[in-house]
Amino acid sequence: MKKWISGQHLIQLFENWVPKSLAFENDRIGLLIGTLDKEIKKVMVTLDVLENVADEAAEKGVDLIIAHHPVIFHPLKKSTF
């Protein structure tokens, strides 16, 4: 039995359950950081992606964090990742 799902498929399932049309006009929805072109084995759901949440996700090997509040609300002009 397969123990993973593609990121794209997971998001399609999520959007079938919670359609984008329910978002407010200025809501930041969708992928903000990373890629969905990978296998997703572990997902974390949270209200906010705070430092302790990111630390826990890293410790537990989480592949995708789904958050109610966006990590980045105002678009960045520059990133130093």
Q: What is the pTM of this model?
A: 0.76
pLDDT of residue 60: 97
pLDDT single digits (tens) 34-62: 888 889 999 999 999 999 999 999 999 99
pLDDT value for 24: 85
| d(C-alpha 57, C-alpha 71), whole Å | 14
As a whole number of angstroms, the distance between CA 78 and CA 46 comes to 26
CB-based contact 4:61 (threshold 8 Å): no
What domains does the chain contain, in order, with CATH numbers?
A: 5-67 (3.40.1390.30)
Residue with tokens 């978002």: 23
